[in-house]
A and B are shown apart, each in its own frame.
Chain A
């Protein structure tokens, strides 16, 4: 199906473990983004990518790593999960030539215990 998909939808992990959240889009959009959403903070940008092999930090990048070897995939890795990284994570994409805002994936609810 066309669109932007995130996996898994729900994840529980232990403190100190590495976990990877997946994001895949079928539109060949240039830009992809990772946000986290926490009560009282709204959506905060973690990392973004303008194209394959081009990534940059957002507002809250510490503790996260991204890669983008292919245009359609933008995985987010928590290298050593902490309880403060318990959150809902949203991936989004946008086209650069005609910019109409983002389309979001369905989100991943991550709990670090």
Chain B
């Protein structure tokens, strides 16, 4: 079993809709969780971090964490064409290492 798994996608949503991305992780002791956005041909950039159960909102992005279910999600509200990218879920393991999921590619249709 991979340490971090994401829904495979690709995910296509109309402009203005909500995009929902899911991620599960295997290490129950994980404490820190991150979402990175990666445009084609570019490097990943950090867009959200979450450390405690519940929701965390930042603009149109909401991260949700449920440690009991070992589940973290990202919602993108009012999706825009500029949100078209691959979204990577990352989980902090021991030391300062991150384990990444394979990513979910989102396409927002104008």
Contacts and interface: CB of A to CB of B under 8 A. Distances in A.
B44 A104 contact: yes
A90 B44 contact: yes
Interface string A8-49: 000000000000000000000001010100001111110010
Contact of B32 (A33, A42, A43, A99): A99
Contacts of A103: 46
B46 A42 contact: no
Interface residues of B, number: 20
Contacts of B34: 101
5 contacts: A42-B88, A42-B101, A45-B97, A102-B46, A107-B43
Interface of A: 31, 33, 35, 40-45, 48, 50, 58, 90, 94, 96, 99-107
Closest 3 CB pairs of A and B: A42-B102, A104-B43, A43-B100
A79 B6 CA distance: 33
A112 B45 CA distance: 27
A58 B100 contact: no
Contacts of B20: none
Given A41-B102, A42-B103, A101 B97 contact: no
Given A41-B102, A48-B96, 10 more contacts: A42-B101, A43-B88, A44-B100, A58-B97, A99-B92, A101-B49, A103-B46, A104-B44, A105-B43, A106-B43
Contacts of B88: 42-43
B17 interface: no
B96 A50 contact: yes
Contacts of A101: 32, 34, 46, 49, 90, 98
B45 A104 contact: yes
Contacts of B92: 99
Contacts of B32: 99, 101
Contact of A48 (B44, B45, B97, B100): B97
A58 B96 CA distance: 12
